[in-house]
Amino acid sequence: MKRIYSNVKNREAVTVYYIGIFLLDFALSLTAAIYVIFLIKNGLNLLQANLVNTAFMISIFLLEVPTGAFADSIGRKNSVLISTLFLMLGLAFYPIFRNFYAFLLA
């Protein structure tokens, strides 16, 4: 039986991709446990905290198709890198922000 990833470069790229996805999902799962508490401690009420979560999910839903088209034009690797940079920027602003609209922006 022929291996799918017989080329060393492909195997290394797949391994790096899976490690990156695991680390991202692991970090997000750790923060998910205290995320709402963090928002409430920073001045949001429960409705506003849920609206921030809703805005996040709606943005994921709406940007899924354009992201695929973007990946087709510039490549999947570049698309993943750019999306990770935007995620890092959004998460970097969280400790700075203290109001509902700022959290929506992040």
Q: How far is CA 63 from the centre of its chain?
A: 12
pTM of the model: 0.66
- pLDDT tier for residue 1 given thresholds of 50, 70 and 90: very low
pLDDT at 92 over 70: yes
Which tens digit of pLDDT belongs to each residue from 29-67? Answer: 888 888 899 999 999 999 999 999 999 889 888 887 777
pLDDT at 9 over 80: no
Using only C-alpha atoms, the chain has a radius of gyration, in whole angstroms, of 17
pLDDT at 5 over 60: no
The Cβ of residue 97 has, within 10 Å, a number of other Cβ atoms equal to 16
d(Cα 99, Cα 48) in Å, to the nearest integer? 10
d(Cα 55, Cα 57) in Å, to the nearest integer? 6
pLDDT at 80 over 50: yes
Going by C-alpha positions, the residue among 100, 105, 106, 101 that lies closest to residue 43 is 100
Alpha helices (runs of H) in the chain, residue ranges in sequence order: 8-32, 35-41, 46-74, 76-93, 100-105
- Domain residue limits, the chain: 1-33, 34-105
